[in-house]
Structure 1
Amino acid sequence: MNVAGSVRVPGDKSITHRVLLLAALARGTSNIGGALTSLDARSTARVLRQLGAELSPLRPGVPVTVRGVGKFRRPEGPLFCGNSGTTTRLLLGLLSAHRFSATLTGDHSLRRRPMRRVTVPLASMGARFTEGNGDGLPLTVKGERLRPISYEMPVSSAQIKSAILLAGMAGEVDVALREPHGRSRDHTERLLRAFGYEVSEDDGWIHFTPGGHLEPFDVQVPGDPSSAAFLVGAATLAQAGELMIAAVGINPTRTGFLDVLRRMGAAIQLENRADSFGEPVGDLVVRPASLRGTEVSAGEIPGLIDEIPLLAVLASRASG
């Protein structure tokens, strides 16, 4: 099998959600290139329209224009989040600081996913929640004047962490967080720093201090490293060829898969490093290689959580 050529992967899912949410809260017009156009991203766009923002349709290869409103407006009906847990949990954080009630729901699968890991810390900040289905959706949030929080998270989770940080941003209160098992992806922290908010790390704690300001922005979303991972795996197992994957996000909290694969002997080079709104970007060049077995520690899991099934497949082809 020969795997060769040059390719781009769809925009990063995690960053797409976050820049859409922040653009909707920045008063004025933002332009987002390379945004993912998946069903989950469209769920975020749909609920943001219900909350008063104007968004152009999400279409492959077409930049998204977002006219933000500064503050969300009370929705006329339930916010249907489809199957997107990211949409739901990040939105819960933002809505916690808005002084109105909103009900979030989703499809059958999303309604069964737990939400208390997010609502418990948000409630301790002052938001109010009314459950309609136990620890799941539908869920009604009533925003209040928020209080600062110092919170040790039960699990390392970018969605929980981001919900609390976004609540701190929208509510203009201090936040201190600690993740127990390694760092989860830090896209929210990087974006907040880009807008002038102080986000620091000290002895495992993440500290957020208000003081920044959301302004309209133009951004190019990097290629999704989780999507690139499948191509990296194919090119590594190939018998010949060289594959270049252009403009991929290489955030250190997302490259655990690449780190483990290199440790197994993969031939992966990084070229043309750049920066996109605080996010490191580069081209991945992959050549065939023989893999050897390795051990993956618990602390590495948050950085490759989406790639574990693929890593298991590649491990089956490794020696040792």
Structure 2
Amino acid sequence: MSHAEPRPLTVSARGPLRGTVTVPGDKSISHRALMFSALAVGESRIEGLLEGEDVLATAAAMRAMGAQILRDDDGVWRVHGVGVGGLLQPQAALDMGNSGTSTRLLMGLVASHPITATFTGDASLSGRPMGRVIEPLARMGAEITASPGGRLPLMVRGINPAVPIAYTLPVASAQVKSAVLLAGLNTPGITRVIEPVPTRDHSERMLRGFGAELTVEDGPEGKIISITGEAELSPQHIRVPGDPSSAGFWMVAASIVPGSEIVIRNVCMNPTRTGLITALKLMGADIAEIDAREVGGEAVADLRVRHAPLKAIAVPPALAPSMIDEYPILFVAAAFAEGRTVARGAHELRVKESDRIATMRTALEAIGVRTEEHEDGLTIEGSGGDPLPGGGHVASKLDHRIAMSMTVAGLGARDPVTIDDVAPVATSYPDFFQTLDALGQ
């Protein structure tokens, strides 16, 4: 699942962005919907699944381990699961493409099944450390052989029965939490994850919905999430809400391009995912939540975003876990704000698809933005709403969010901005550029 040939793009400023958009299904929820459906006994149906390359990598891996996964002509996905404990030995290596979520969660699944799986990925994913997942899974009894630095390619030899553990997360990571919980699904006894800093809780919500015995309580060290193993999951009908990370690009685009007004429909408003909205509102963004509702256990709303002058803020570090994927586009908003925005507390950005702190600093400076790099974030000198100089060449580093963020920055630049490769955008938002063109008509 290697990326296509590099696809350079030159972005020029354009007039107001207007219209209604429906963003792709939430990526985190889409991954989990496929995995949990594949572990249920019977047929689950999934509507609104994100059909980007990352999620399709998860679908291919679950097929390789025995699940039947079909897409109907109406876009509904049907999954016939094998049951917890029923995963089959894959006959070839599992190619994860660019998807860290697929890799880490599936490592957890394999760890407590009596099978062996080899995980491979593209150049970007192969540079990302997996040690934080290897450590707890090894404590549960899985045997994991990784490339130097705890990287891909790696092999997981699962064990059954695995050993239930109580594991305190050393870093705020929903992926590590989910990997341990998924290993616990097929482990006799109770597996516990202690979470000092809250992270996105889609796994907990959805596992409960599928019938797993899972509790969440507050303890002295943080949230204690307990799952009772050898679970039996029941098939479900899942409606995947719109991805707030994808919605973030349009929130910032509408905020910085004068005269813009965009309505983004059906956005997941899970409180562990709304940090960007909170930060943008602190900066003065005009974002209204319309028709708040609940769909499949997740809060959902439509968002109306209008152009507004932005002011610099010190981004509260406590927001980091609820907007970790949105920092690149927040940095773009800061570039157009009045004053100096300080965004710290985001160490996790160093180990994403690229080092998003260093990559965004280089990208913003290439188009005339003054920045200061910190170990855990950036300080950005804003333009006060004036167009950015632009005119630079930007390296996306095989990172879909860098490519989309810098496309948005180009909408408010005096001179055209050239991005070396926007092909990785297909991993999470295949229709991004068509949507941009439609909003700019």
TM range (shorter): over 0.9
1:134 to partner: Cα distance? 4.7
1:133 to partner: Cα distance? 4.4
Match for residue 209 of structure 1?
227
Q: What is the rounded CA distance, in whole Å, between the counterparts of 1:289 and 1:178 in structure 2?
A: 41
Q: What is the rounded CA distance, in whole Å, between the counterparts of 2:321 and 2:23 in structure 1?
A: 22
Match for residue 143 of structure 1?
158
1:129 to partner: Cα distance? 1.6
**C-alpha offsets along residues 187-240 of structure 1, whole Å, 9 cap, x if unaligned?**
111112223322313141222132763111111111111111111111122322
1:274 to partner: Cα distance? 2.0
Q: Secondary structure at the match of 2:266?
A: strand
Q: What is the rounded CA distance, in whole Å, between the counterparts of 2:146 and 2:326 in structure 1?
A: 33
Match for residue 404 of structure 2?
none
**What are the residue-to-residue correspondences of 1:1-40 with 2, within 5 Å?**
1-40=15-54
Letter in 2 for 1:44: T
Match for residue 420 of structure 2?
none
Q: What is the rounded CA distance, in whole Å, between the counterparts of 2:50 and 2:44 in structure 1?
A: 16
Match for residue 306 of structure 2?
287
Letter in 2 for 1:106: G
Selected match of 2:64 from 31, 40, 50: 50
Q: Is the 8 A contact 2:118 2:156 kept in 1?
A: yes
Selected match of 1:69 from 76, 79, 82: 82
Letter in 1 for 2:54: D
Match for residue 236 of structure 1?
255
TM-score normalised to structure 2 length:
0.69
Selected match of 2:194 from 175, 178, 193: 178
Q: 1:218 aligned to 2:237?
A: yes
Match for residue 275 of structure 1?
294
Selected match of 2:121 from 106, 116, 121: 106
Match for residue 312 of structure 1?
331
**Worse-superposed segment, 37-46 or 170-179:** 170-179
Q: Secondary structure at the match of 2:242?
A: coil
Alpha carbons of structure 1 residues 241 and 317: separation in structure 2 relative to 1, 3 Å: closer
Match for residue 284 of structure 2?
265
Q: What is the rounded CA distance, in whole Å, between the counterparts of 1:311 and 1:22 in structure 2?
A: 32
Q: What is the rounded CA distance, in whole Å, between the counterparts of 2:131 and 2:173 in structure 1?
A: 13
Letter in 1 for 2:44: S
Q: Secondary structure at the match of 1:36?
A: coil
1:104 to partner: Cα distance? 1.7
**Worse-superposed segment, 303-312 or 200-209:** 200-209
Q: What is the rounded CA distance, in whole Å, between the counterparts of 1:222 and 1:37 in structure 2?
A: 13
Gaps of 5+ in 1: none
Letter in 1 for 2:167: Y
Q: Secondary structure at the match of 2:216?
A: strand
TM-score normalised to structure 1 length:
0.93
Alpha carbons of structure 1 residues 58 and 167: separation in structure 2 relative to 1, 3 Å: farther
Q: What is the rounded CA distance, in whole Å, between the counterparts of 1:233 and 1:167 in structure 2?
A: 38
Q: What is the rounded CA distance, in whole Å, between the counterparts of 1:227 and 1:58 in structure 2?
A: 25
Match for residue 317 of structure 2?
298
Selected match of 2:178 from 155, 162, 181: 162
Q: Secondary structure at the match of 1:189?
A: helix
Letter in 2 for 1:2: P
Alpha carbons of structure 1 residues 207 and 67: separation in structure 2 relative to 1, 3 Å: same
Q: Secondary structure at the match of 2:189?
A: coil
Q: What is the rounded CA distance, in whole Å, between the counterparts of 2:72 and 2:57 in structure 1?
A: 11
Letter in 2 for 1:219: I
Q: What is the rounded CA distance, in whole Å, between the counterparts of 2:39 and 2:303 in structure 1?
A: 34
1:101 to partner: Cα distance? 1.8
Q: Is the 8 A contact 1:168 1:208 kept in 2?
A: no
Q: What is the rounded CA distance, in whole Å, between the counterparts of 1:238 and 1:75 in structure 2?
A: 49
**Worse-superposed segment, 139-148 or 227-236:** 139-148
Q: Is the 8 A contact 2:164 2:189 kept in 1?
A: yes
Q: Is the 8 A contact 2:210 2:235 kept in 1?
A: no
Q: CA RMSD in A?
A: 1.9
- Bigger CA radius of gyration: 2
Letter in 2 for 1:92: M
Match for residue 348 of structure 2?
none
Q: 1:120 aligned to 2:135?
A: yes
Letter in 1 for 2:137: L
Q: What is the rounded CA distance, in whole Å, between the counterparts of 2:232 and 2:263 in structure 1?
A: 38
Q: What is the rounded CA distance, in whole Å, between the counterparts of 2:153 and 2:253 in structure 1?
A: 41
1:126 to partner: Cα distance? 1.7
Q: Is the 8 A contact 1:158 1:186 kept in 2?
A: yes
Match for residue 435 of structure 2?
none
**C-alpha offsets along residues 154-192 of structure 1, whole Å, 9 cap, x if unaligned?**
211111111011111232432332334x32211111112
1:132 to partner: Cα distance? 4.6
**Worse-superposed segment, 214-223 or 97-106:** 97-106
Percent identical among aligned pairs is: 46
Selected match of 2:266 from 227, 244, 247: 247
Q: What is the rounded CA distance, in whole Å, between the counterparts of 2:324 and 2:122 in structure 1?
A: 24
Letter in 1 for 2:164: P
Q: Is the 8 A contact 2:72 2:78 kept in 1?
A: no
